[in-house]
């Protein structure tokens, strides 16, 4: 049975274009269209789609208000189409605040150089989001500061940590046997809600994220105190016109300083450096100080700009095993090889758990390769970082 999609845009030409792309996939079916936000709210109620693609600027009711109404009345996964401008970035972040889970540039040529690649990416995102749990189950808990992306709500009860058997070896997985002859044991991640201070020495925190990352990153960073003792390096898959606005928004609502990383600046403790979109962020050491290095990389061999792997690999040369690496929600496997390098030097690696991930691709990649020590609900990661790195 195909996943149902509702396409929302005030342009009939654009609706037809998106519909044709999605209907090329037999697992997807566009069951309806809407020309404005008001119509979208009603059609979500009547058609019960699995995914909605939503424009931001529309008559009668814009996309942001429509997302708010849909999430309050009939929650569903929503992908926003946005212009790659500073104002478009702000509107997209508002839509994510309202409950949308992902976004794509409205101009397909901004998604990929080849239109067929752009169409494939759109279909892939829609399929992945159609399979996930209802969005309402991921509505965020309150943060230390009011008025942020994350709305106030009564705190959900903490999930108990899954205990390890007393006679179990020091392993990062609970292994479950399979009935298939000759196959390897399936690995189940250890999911915890809290950690005990390990006593390990740290010098930096590194976090990578993609789909669902903007809200996830804010949930983590708003828990960190103003005098956090280490530098923080953030890699979020995001267009270049978005990262500055995103860093500004995070900085407004976090106790730590958050900024878009700049080439040549000296790394400071208590500051979070967000990799600029469309470029690569590395860290180098000169004259006893760590410096941010921003590079323009045009190689087609690098799929992500910024790339978690590239940043994490550079951190391994400066901070080695004195790193806590955290992989949050996202498509693909970016970050796995960087975590492998850090892990080989003695670093700790954590991953967001499946239930709280918008897409469990990146966290799963480090989990199945036995790089992640534990999986943690996004609501608990910030407090776990405070405990481990205090």
Select which of 83, 148, 210, 356 is catalytic: 210
Has 237 been annotated as catalytic? yes
Select which of 237, 353, 356, 380 is catalytic: 237
pLDDT digits (tens), the chain, 390 positions: 899 999 999 999 999 999 999 999 999 999 999 999 999 999 999 999 999 999 999 999 999 999 999 999 999 999 999 887 778 889 999 999 899 999 998 887 666 667 888 899 899 999 999 987 554 433 444 444 444 455 433 444 444 444 433 333 333 333 332 222 233 344 678 999 999 999 999 999 999 999 999 999 999 999 999 999 999 999 999 988 899 999 999 999 999 999 999 999 999 999 999 999 999 999 999 988 999 999 987 766 667 899 999 999 999 999 999 999 999 999 999 999 999 999 999 999 999 999 999 999 999 999 999 999 999 999 999 999 999 998
Rounded Cα distance between 261 and 259, Å, is 6
Select which of 334, 353, 377, 380 is catalytic: 334
Q: Which domains, and CATH codes, for the chain?
A: 3-138 (3.40.50.2300), 173-389 (3.40.50.180)
**Amino acid 106: pLDDT:** 87
**Amino acid 1: pLDDT:** 82
**Amino acid 369: pLDDT:** 96
**Amino acid 115: pLDDT:** 81
Has 344 been annotated as catalytic? no
- 264 and 281 in contact (C-beta within 8 Å)? no
**Amino acid 173: pLDDT:** 36
Rounded Cα distance between 13 and 143, Å, is 41
- 241 and 360 in contact (C-beta within 8 Å)? no
CB atoms within 10 A of CB 14: 15
**Amino acid 300: pLDDT:** 62
- 189 and 352 in contact (C-beta within 8 Å)? no
Has 86 been annotated as catalytic? no
- Which of these, 329, 369, 354, lies nearest to 102 by C-alpha position? 329
């Amino acid at each position: 049975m195909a996943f149902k999609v509702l396409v929302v845009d005030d342009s009939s030409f654009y609706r037809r274009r998106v519909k044709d792309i999605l209907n090329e996939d037999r697992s997807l079916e566009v069951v309806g269209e809407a020309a404005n936000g008001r119509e979208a709210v009603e059609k979500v109620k009547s058609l019960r789609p699995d995914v909605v693609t939503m424009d931001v600027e529309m008559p009668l009711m814009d996309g942001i208000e429509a997302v708010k109404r849909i999430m309050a009345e009939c929650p569903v996964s929503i992908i926003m189409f946005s212009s790659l401008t500073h104002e478009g970035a702000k509107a997209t972040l508002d839509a994510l605040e309202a409950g949308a889970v992902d976004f794509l540039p409205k101009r397909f040529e901004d998604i990929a150089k080849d239109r067929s690649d752009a169409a494939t990416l759109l279909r892939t995102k829609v399929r992945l989001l159609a399979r996930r749990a209802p969005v309402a189950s991921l509505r965020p808990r309150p943060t230390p500061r009011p008025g942020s992306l994350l709305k106030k709500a009564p705190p959900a009860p903490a999930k108990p940590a899954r205990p390890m058997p007393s006679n179990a070896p020091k392993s990062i997985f609970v292994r479950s046997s399979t009935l298939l002859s000759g196959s390897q044991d399936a690995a189940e991640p250890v999911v915890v809600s809290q950690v005990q201070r390990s006593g390990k020495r740290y010098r930096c925190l590194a976090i990578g994220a993609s789909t669902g990352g903007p809200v996830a990153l804010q949930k983590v960073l708003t828990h960190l105190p103003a005098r956090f003792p280490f530098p923080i390096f953030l890699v979020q898959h995001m267009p270049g016109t978005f990262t500055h606005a995103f860093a500004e928004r995070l900085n407004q609502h976090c106790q730590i300083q958050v900024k878009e990383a700049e080439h040549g600046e000296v790394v400071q403790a208590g500051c979070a450096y967000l990799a600029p979109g469309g470029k690569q962020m590395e860290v180098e050491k000169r004259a006893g100080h760590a410096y941010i290095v921003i590079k323009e990389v045009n190689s087609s061999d690098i799929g992500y700009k910024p790339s978690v792997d590239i940043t994490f690999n550079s951190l391994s040369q400066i901070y080695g095993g004195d790193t806590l690496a955290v992989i949050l929600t996202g498509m693909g496997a970016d970050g796995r090889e960087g975590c492998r390098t850090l892990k080989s030097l003695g670093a700790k690696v954590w991953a967001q758990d499946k239930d709280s991930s918008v897409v469990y691709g990146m966290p799963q990649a480090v989990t199945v390769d036995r790089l992640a020590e534990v999986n943690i609900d996004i609501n608990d990661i910030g407090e776990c970082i405070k405990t481990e790195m205090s």
